[in-house]
Every structure is written in structure tokens, then in C-alpha cells.
Amino acid sequence: MEALRSWRTASVVLLSFSSGLPLGLVLIAIPDWMRSIGVDIRLVGLITLAQAPWSLKVLWSPLLDRYQPPWLGRRRGWAAVAQVVLLALGLALAGVGHHPDTPWVVGALGLAIAFASATQDIAIDAYAVDVLRPEEQGVAVGARTALYRAAMFVAGGVAITLAGRFSWPLVNIGLALLYLPMMVITWLAPEPPEQPPRPATLREAVWQPFLALLARHRALEILAFVVLYKLADNLAMALVRPFLVDMGYSETDRGVALATIGLAASLGGTFLGGVVTTLIGLGHSLWLFGFLQSFASLGYVILAGSPVNRPLMYAATGFESLCAGMGTGAFSVLLLRLTERRFSATQYALFSSLFGVPRLIAGPICGFLVDAVGWRAFFWITIASGAPGLILLARFVPLGTREPTFRGVVGGTIALVASALLVATLGALKTMRSDPGAGFALGPALANVVHPQVVADWVGLGGLSLVALVCGLFTAAVAAARHGARE
């Protein structure tokens, strides 16, 4: 396959190793290091907030669209700058390795590493959008995800093991020096051809990516599809660990299922999803993997309420992780296709942030759902939640379409009503579960939402109002963008 021999593909894949190293260090290694030297668990918890820049990177991504370093072009230049900073910060982290009385310094360095890493991610993701040809995107997505996870494992699990045998300063020096070959790859990577002009002003770099996106036909439907396509998968995975605990599986069982079988299946599925997308087309892949990931939690439905059955549990977690990985492979190719080259840094950061929204909110939502309906009904609900994404998919990619062409409007009132109905439905289901004779009393539950009695009810009503306000403002922005596009 030509894509496998392309230096463009190889460059994007190899640079993903540089993206995974800081995440493994900040997310896995530093908390383990701090706790192992006796740092208070409350402070360790605060230090984990250092990962925030990865969720907020869209805020400064316009700077990388607007400005260009004096070397290596707009994308590779920023990636090289970030790698130099990561090398320096890694060496600085090694300098405090023998000082357990400086956890705040470690936390500050971790935050700086996360910021530099998020900046590097913006640049590398934009580079992938700019340099990869359509026939190379599927293979590149699968391979770069696998190498990204491998780098996380090196900077996380392997680093912890080596630190126990040697020392954290030595390990941190070794991790920092790994950025040197990454700089060489950045230097040798090919420059994207036919680069569009940079935004003329910072204001244009900030607003034009969003206005250009919102001015597209069916803009809200596209954004809703980005959020909803993997909703079933995200809901099913949110509470798998607590589910296995409730079903009576031991720590060893859960570790084998999730950290070994699940990880291998997820990596293999992502790579397979990217390759299959290249072979059969993005449209066919989105449909195939959309169905598979929607029904992937059927194994958990069978597992819920059954006696301990390890082979069945391993099969259920492996199948779910495999389907989720394949869906991620195809969906990541879609994000590359949706992103405009001129604003690739900002738009891809926006899409990846939206892609992460279901993972962020899945935990709280699923906790209330399980409490209201129980595990088996919960997993049936996750299967049903795959329908909205597939319905939206049919709007853009009718069945049988090999390659999709992505070119509607919901207001704050609709969002408020829908959110209130969801909260009331959960309350009615919980009441019916605790008192079957009460029936499904949606009216009283809705009255509790509309007429709050206690502080928790008032907080809930405030949250619903905030959702309505955000949706209303977003609808206004879409209308303004569409109006500007017609003028």
C-alpha cells in the first residue's frame, strides 16, 4: 500500500510518540512519584489538575494559526519550539527529583509541561491535516494512535518501573532526552504543499475559524454529529470498572480485562479502523463501525446479573474495546476531513474538544442512570443512545455512499425543555425502581424540577438554565454566521 511507504505518513506517525510522552508523565508518572515519596494525597489530587491545558488548548490555538516561527514553517516550527521547551522542562524536573519538600515545584513544572505538550499537539494535529493526502489519512490515524499509546506507556508504566530500580532524576533525564530524536524527525518531516495564507490579523485567526465552521450548511447538525457519533461507546465505557466491581470481579480480573485485553483490543481496533477506512471508504466505515460500537455493550447486558464468568467478562470487554477502537479510527479520519487547512490548528482543536465532551459528562450522567434503572437497563439505554448519531449520519452519508460530503437550528428553549424532561425522567425512573407500585410518575417529577424545594433542586434548575443560555447564544452565533455568509 502506497500510504505505508509515504514519508508524510511516517512523519505524522512518528511525531505522535512525542505527543504521548508528556501525557504519560503528567497523568501517570508524576502522581505515582509524588505519592511514593509521601506527599499528602490531597496535594497529589491537586497536582493532577496539571492536565487541564489539554482540555483548554483551543483557547490559544489561534495563535498558532496566526503567527509563524522563523524556521521550519508554521506547523513544524511550533512543534520544534514545543519540543525544545519540553526538553528543558524535563531536565528541570530531574533537578528536583531528590527534594520531596518541593511538590508544588513539581506541580508547576507538570503544568508547564502540559501547556507545552498541548501546544505541540495543536501543531502536530494541524500538520497532519495539512500534509496528509486522503488516501493516507486512515493508515496514519491508526498507526499514530498506537504509537501515541506506546509513548504514554513508556512515560507512565515503564518510567515508574525504572524509577523503582534506579531513581526519578535519572528517569526524568532519560525521558527528556527522548525529545532529541523527535526534533530530528520534525526537522526532516516534509513541508505541506500549497499552504494557504495565514490569517492577516489575530482577530481573524480567533473568529474566522468559528464563523467559517458555523456558516456551513447544516453546521449545527455537523457539530451535533461530532458529539453524538460515539455517545453510546462513551456512555458504556464510563463506569465499566465500577460495573465489574459490582458484578464481583477481583482486582486481578479487572486488571487483565481492562489494562491488558482491553488496551490491546483498543489499539488493534483503532489501527484496523484506520486501515479499513482507507480500503472501503470513509462513508462505509462510519456506518459499519457506528453499528458495531452502538451494539458493543451487548456483552455487558448479558454479564449484568449473571454469576461470575471470567471468559464471558474478558470477551465482553475485549469486544467492546475493539469496536470502540475501530469507531475511533474512522471518526478521527472524519475530523481530518472536516478541518479547513487555513485554520487547521484552531478548528481541529475545536473538533477534538467537542469529541471529548461526551467522555467528560458521561460519568455523572451514567451514575444517575445506573442509580435510577440498574445496570442491565443502563446498558440497554447505551445501545439505544447510538441511534441519534446514526440518524445524523444518514443526513450526510446515505447508506452505500463511499465518501461523505460535509458542507440546522436548535434554540435555547428546546435545550431547556429537553434537559428538564431528561432530569424528570431520571427522577421518575428512580422512584418507580424503589416503589414499583408508584408507577412512572413523570408529572410529579417534572414539578419538582420546575418548582425546586431544596438547595440541590435549585442547583439543578440553575444548571438547566445555563444549558439553555449557552444553546441560545450558540444558535444566535450560527444565525449571524449564516447571515454573514450570504452577504
pLDDT digits (tens, 9 = 90+) for 132-168: 777 777 778 778 877 887 888 788 778 878 887 888 8
> Looking at domain 1-188, which of 3.40.50.300, 3.40.30.10, 1.20.1250.20, 3.60.15.10 is its CATH number?
1.20.1250.20
Confidence check: pLDDT of 21 > 80: yes
What is the DSSP secondary-structure string of 359-400? HHHHHHHHHHHHHHH-HHHHHHHHHHTTHHHHHHHHHHS-TT
CA atoms of 154 and 138, how far apart (whole Å): 25
**pLDDT score at 59:** 81
Which residue from 200, 128, 197, 192 is spatially nearest to 342, judged by alpha carbons?
A: 197
Confidence check: pLDDT of 476 > 50: no
Exposure b/e, 223-234, CB count within 10 A at least 16 = b? bbbbbbbbbbbb
Residue 394's contacts (CB-CB under 8 Å, 6 or more residues apart) are: none
Measure CA 352 to chain center.
Answer: 6
For residue 60, the one-letter residue type is W
**pLDDT score at 181:** 92
Taking a C-beta distance cutoff of 8 angstroms, is the pair 423, 449 a contact? yes
Position with higher pLDDT, 366 vs 388: 388
What is the mean predicted confidence (pLDDT) over 395-410? 62
- Model confidence band, residue 479 (pLDDT cutoffs 50, 70, 90): very low
- Model confidence band, residue 481 (pLDDT cutoffs 50, 70, 90): very low
What is the mean predicted confidence (pLDDT) over 454-479? 49
Q: Take residue 159 and report the three cell numbers written for it.
A: 518510567
- Model confidence band, residue 171 (pLDDT cutoffs 50, 70, 90): confident
Q: Take residue 76 and report the three cell numbers written for it.
A: 513544524
The answer to which of 243-247, 257-261, 307-311 has the lowest mean pLDDT is: 257-261
**pLDDT score at 277:** 80
Q: What is the DSSP letter of 197?
A: P
**pLDDT score at 82:** 93
**pLDDT score at 415:** 46
**pLDDT score at 410:** 41
**What is the chain's mean pLDDT, rounded?**
75
Confidence check: pLDDT of 438 > 60: no
The answer to which of 305-314, 342-351, 462-471 has the lowest mean pLDDT is: 462-471
CA atoms of 154 and 180, how far apart (whole Å): 16
What is the mean predicted confidence (pLDDT) over 256-282? 79
**pLDDT score at 120:** 92
pLDDT digits (tens, 9 = 90+) for 178-204: 999 999 999 998 887 777 777 777 777
- Model confidence band, residue 87 (pLDDT cutoffs 50, 70, 90): very high
Confidence check: pLDDT of 240 > 60: yes
pLDDT digits (tens, 9 = 90+) for 96-124: 766 656 777 888 888 899 899 989 988 88
CA atoms of 304 and 449, how far apart (whole Å): 31
Confidence check: pLDDT of 2 > 80: no
Hey, where are the domains in the chain? Answer: 1-188, 202-408, 412-486
Which residue from 283, 232, 275 is spatially nearest to 406, judged by alpha carbons?
A: 283
- Angle at 275 (CA atoms; ends 151, 300), nearest 5 degrees: 75
Which residue from 231, 237, 247 is spatially nearest to 374, judged by alpha carbons?
A: 247
Taking a C-beta distance cutoff of 8 angstroms, is the pair 430, 308 a contact? no
CA atoms of 140 and 109, how far apart (whole Å): 32
Confidence check: pLDDT of 422 > 70: no
Give me the CATH topology for the region 202-408: Growth Hormone; Chain: A; (1.20.1250)
**pLDDT score at 430:** 59
Which residue from 220, 254, 230 is spatially nearest to 355, judged by alpha carbons?
A: 230
Residue 482's contacts (CB-CB under 8 Å, 6 or more residues apart) are: 214, 215, 219
Q: Take residue 409 and report the three cell numbers written for it.
A: 437550528
Q: In angstroms, how far is the first alpha carbon of the chain from the final one?
A: 46
- Model confidence band, residue 403 (pLDDT cutoffs 50, 70, 90): low
The answer to which of 58-62, 114-118, 404-408 has the lowest mean pLDDT is: 404-408
User: Helices 455-486 and 219-228: crossing angle, nearest 10°?
Assistant: 140
**pLDDT score at 251:** 74
CA atoms of 277 and 194, how far apart (whole Å): 26
**pLDDT score at 484:** 46
Q: What is the DSSP letter of 75?
A: H
- Model confidence band, residue 480 (pLDDT cutoffs 50, 70, 90): very low
Element (H, E) at 228: helix 219-228
Size of the chain in residues: 487
Number of H helices, E strands in the chain: 26, 0
pLDDT digits (tens, 9 = 90+) for 206-228: 777 777 666 666 667 777 777 77
The answer to whether domain 1-188 and domain 202-408 are alike in fold is: yes
Confidence check: pLDDT of 416 > 60: no
Residue 207's contacts (CB-CB under 8 Å, 6 or more residues apart) are: none
CA atoms of 201 and 369, how far apart (whole Å): 47
In the chain, % helix, strand, coil (3-state, to 5) comes to 80, 0, 20
What is the mean predicted confidence (pLDDT) over 231-254? 78
**pLDDT score at 219:** 66
User: Helices 262-280 and 134-153: crossing angle, nearest 10°?
Assistant: 170
Q: Which class for 421: exposed (0-12), middle (13-18), buried (19 or more C-beta within 10 A)?
A: middle
**pLDDT score at 278:** 76
Query: What torsion, rounded to 10 degrees, do the Cα atoms 222, 227, 228, 229 define?
Result: 80
Position with higher pLDDT, 485 vs 428: 428
Task: Report the percent of the chain where pLDDT is more than 70.
Answer: 74
The answer to whether the pTM exceeds 0.85 is no
